[in-house]
Amino acid sequence: MDVPDTHRTRLLILGAGPAGYTAAIYAARAGLEPILVAGLQPGGQLTITTDVENYPGFASAVQGPWLMEQMQAQAAHVGTRIIQDVITGVELGGKPFRATGDSGDTYEASAMVIATGAQARWLGIPGEKELSGFGVSACATCDGFFFRNREVAVIGGGNSAVEEALYLAGLASKVTLIHRRDSLRAERIMQERLFNHPKVSVVWNTVVEEALATEGKFRALRALKLRDLAGGGSYELPVDGMFVAIGHDPATALFRGQLKTDEDGYIVTEPGSTRTSIPGIFAAGDVQDRIYRQAVTAAGSGCMAALDAEKWLAHMPDDAPAVAAYDAVDG
């Protein structure tokens, strides 16, 4: 049986998406010898994204998983120690900051960058949880292959929903986008692609009330029970797959009650900075960005977090009280 280890570092980075890897690259190049704990989904949401068309530097679309592999390799190449573990608890009340992993290992750091990202939001309807993996999914690029030449539905009206619908249209025989309003929130160019695709239809002013299963021992999705918000009637839509794309929730449960968060759980940072309510703790990426939520902005805020942490550590002797360095930096 392995004996739990204690890992000590000047800078601990939690999360392995664009924000975490970029913070690691900048921190390692600054000589901070950071440790990055990858978490439940190494690579973040880009690992479930196929064509990435809007990340600067690539004339043609690149694959999300490949892009994250490159970021990971670069972070390791410049000196980041990457550990595959899941943080289950944090202690941010004093120095050093401490985190505990599912492995039993403990991580101690003088400064910390939180880049834990966000997680898919579910509808919370009957049948959804029970049929997860049996026709219900929140990741078209993960599970779309299983629905080749079959009929599927996508729930949502933002960029994520339209992206999922267009991706599935390349696999499925028919895609129905279901939205509770009468207009989409997605970018105009993406809406045009959606409306012009021959395999895609849109159902407006409608909500999903229940995911209905087949009979028998091995149950799978057979239809969705829909309710027309305009007319008030309910009806069934036969589908083999339902893909939920209604947004994400920030992965901040570990930090609530210790760090200041907004009403939706996003970590609050100072304007123009990645500083949080606790000196020495910085937040980057979707865990604190409720507006832009792009890979490039996450990477940019990861850079900011590393630079903020470097400045913090330069003014923070190991035995200094935790609040002192902000005054030194600002002064």
In the chain, the N- to C-terminal Cα span, in Å, equals: 50
Place of tokens 């000589």: 31
C-alpha distances out from residue 198 to 159, 183, 202, 238, 262, Å: 19, 19, 11, 19, 42
- Measure the CA–CA gap between 325 and 331, rounded to whole angstroms: 10
- Measure the CA–CA gap between 197 and 232, rounded to whole angstroms: 29
DSSP 128-185: TTTTBTTTEES-HHHHGGGGTTSEEEEE-SSHHHHHHHHHHHTTSSEEEEE-SSSS--
- Measure the CA–CA gap between 191 and 296, rounded to whole angstroms: 22
Provide the 10 A C-beta neighbour count for residue 149: 9
Which tokens is 271 given? Answer: 């304007």
Provide the 10 A C-beta neighbour count for residue 133: 10
DSSP-derived pairing of the beta strands 87-91 and 200-203: unpaired
DSSP 63-129: EHHHHHHHHHHHHHHTT-EEE---EEEEE-SSSSEEEEETTS-EEEEEEEEE---EEE-----TTTT
C-alpha distances out from residue 226 to 135, 178, 198, 234, 289, Å: 16, 9, 23, 5, 33
Give me the active site residues, please: 139, 142-143
- Measure the CA–CA gap between 151 and 165, rounded to whole angstroms: 11
